[in-house]
A and B are shown apart, each in its own frame.
Chain A
């Protein structure tokens, strides 16, 4: 600062300048824009970010953090953000960051699975993952509840994306060659597939879940029967050999077919999740329902070779059941080994007869005592069981229930359970016995003595024949030669021009004349008997001119 001059007039000094403490230059807009852009990017990605879920898989094979995607209908809906072992080291937890739009996939029943190349019953799937790497497939659920943790499926669910159709449960004894993806046929057209199977709670059967696609699910009706169409059905009958199979693929992967019996009145489409029985083949499936099973026991005193479990039981030639057990027993009194055969019969297979019988007897099939009484009356009328030969070649036996009015009476135990039906030896056994008796009689014949005598006789006969040959035959030959000579001379004698024959004819002529004169004589004598005494008058007319003789 300069010192002010005292003599000179005061010059105007510069006014004090006040600078704004915080002057903001326009240049600050540049970092501001950068920050805004950054913020917008961050906010945008935050807004895009959907829920985070954890999937639990058995292995982490194919799962890569920040790379593996989650897809629904081939559209990316999220990605795996981390893959880590679970706390107990038994599985793998994949943390998935879902997109905002994929919020619905947190529904409790959503499904997740790893898509890999697979060759299964239904064909080949997931080929595209050979190049792109595995991804996680997702299927949205329907439930209202939300979840954060999901159990990943080991296999892709066969039915996804809320496909229209119906699910049904089939109950069977064993799975057979069926598998998930095995086709379901209706009139040989594939209309669905097996989607799941599980053992019963008690382990005594298998429940198979099938899915029938719309609109063919309408053909599953209340009367529909399902049967296992796996493999080949070879039928050898009187008409030849018939080989049937649903399709070539069922040979490999099995299959199920269904159909309602041709006559199914008042049939309506089945409700979802209905349970059906899965029959072994079409024939049993379409057969009329068997109804209540009635277990019976039979006791045979003969060998039951050829009787197998499953052999048919026929009543008057109609198949009404089958053999369920063949067991050896020991009879303490007789010290013998009878055979107990358990059979099951289905009275309903008798059809009309069964209905009529129920009506006539006013019988309730569920009342065991009444049933025993019905059987008792039948047995009194001669109902007996018999093991018969179904096939002479193979010796297969079947059980026949028939009425034998002449059968010996037996006591019927009303309290025995299962009901015991008395038996008769089989027809072949009776035949066998008769044959044996005949053989025994034949055995008793003095065959050796007869044979000895016969032998002696034969020796004698041979001797006689030899004698005949050596002695008699030459004689016979000479005799025959003589005979021939005689015949020759005879023929010479009888020849046309032989003198003997000439003489003979002359003699015959003479004989003729003689007989004529004799007749004349006899005629003359007839008319003139006196001539016998007087001789012939000299004037007598010739014989021819005389009249007929008078009496």
Chain B
């Protein structure tokens, strides 16, 4: 029992596999690895409850980003507006249909799954319990993280807005603002620090 308890208090550097004893961090603090100077752990100010609330907010933003137009362009009365899904459809009709699938996964499906899994896991964590299929969910959250590329999409959209602004009348839509908020929020809530949940009994 003693060994088990002591291992739970240990932390391993993800860069050089050096083992340390976990310490409690205060505000604005982070623990560093002695050997490789990599960050071991940061102060995490979010309780489970706060994380769940933000996750639900993110889910709302995801809905906005997907159902409201990202931007509207107009030229001499010719008007066009597109949502995220429209852009995926436009790609699928082009010569590189495969890219459409990648785009759909990266900007729509992966974030959606991330949010669903987080809500599932955190809802149970609120009552200090492990959710059913907890291990699978936690592993998938790790797997999906690199596939969620909302920031990339946001950057692309903003580059398009600025580039087109000179030639056409470009109107950023609700979707673009929602997308910006969602991508920031997702970094905060679906980060590496959800590994704390493994501590649940």
Q: Which residues of A contact B (CB under 8 A)?
A: 25, 27-28, 30-31, 33-35, 37-38, 41, 67, 69, 128, 131-133
Verify A38–B54 contact, CB threshold 8 A. Answer: no
Assess A128 versus B77: contact at CB under 8 Å? Given A34-B61, A38-B63: yes
Q: Which residues of B contact A (CB under 8 A)?
A: 47, 49-50, 53-54, 56-57, 60-61, 63-64, 68, 75-80, 174
Main secondary structure of the interface of A (DSSP, over half): helix
Q: How far is the CB of A509 from chain B (nearest CB, A)?
A: 142
Q: How far is the CB of B140 from chain A (nearest CB, A)?
A: 23
Partner of B54, one of A30, A67, A128, A131: A30
| Chain B residues within an 8 Å CB radius of A34 | 56-57, 60-61
| Chain B residues within an 8 Å CB radius of A35 | 60
Main secondary structure of the interface of B (DSSP, over half): helix
Verify A27–B50 contact, CB threshold 8 A. Answer: yes
Which of A27, A41, A131 counts the most chain B CB atoms within 10 A? A27
| Chain B residues within an 8 Å CB radius of A25 | 47, 49-50, 53
Verify B56–A133 contact, CB threshold 8 A. Answer: no
| Chain A residues within an 8 Å CB radius of B50 | 25, 27
Ranked nearest first, the 7 interchain pairs of A and B with the lowest CB-CB distance are A132-B77, A34-B60, A31-B56, A27-B50, A31-B57, A27-B53, A34-B57
Q: How far is the CB of A491 from chain B (nearest CB, A)?
A: 124
Assess A132 versus B76: contact at CB under 8 Å? Given A38-B63, A38-B64, A41-B174: yes
Which chain A residue shows the least CB distance to B55? A31
Q: How far is the CB of B151 from chain A (nearest CB, A)?
A: 20
The answer for the CA separation of A28 and B48 in the assembled complex, in Å, is: 12
| Chain B residues within an 8 Å CB radius of A132 | 76-79
Which chain A residue shows the least CB distance to B181? A34
| Chain B residues within an 8 Å CB radius of A27 | 49-50, 53-54
Assess A28 versus B77: contact at CB under 8 Å? Given A34-B60, A35-B60, A38-B64: no
Verify A30–B78 contact, CB threshold 8 A. Answer: no
The answer for the CA separation of A27 and B188 in the assembled complex, in Å, is: 14
The answer for the CA separation of A336 and B75 in the assembled complex, in Å, is: 84
Q: How far is the CB of B52 from chain A (nearest CB, A)?
A: 9
Which of B60, B68, B78, B80 counts the most chain A CB atoms within 10 A? B60
The answer for the CA separation of A104 and B49 in the assembled complex, in Å, is: 51
Which chain A residue shows the least CB distance to B51? A27
The answer for the CA separation of A353 and B11 in the assembled complex, in Å, is: 130
| Chain A residues within an 8 Å CB radius of B77 | 128, 131-132
Verify B60–A31 contact, CB threshold 8 A. Answer: yes
| Chain A residues within an 8 Å CB radius of B78 | 131-133
Verify A38–B76 contact, CB threshold 8 A. Answer: no
Q: How far is the CB of A253 from chain B (nearest CB, A)?
A: 29
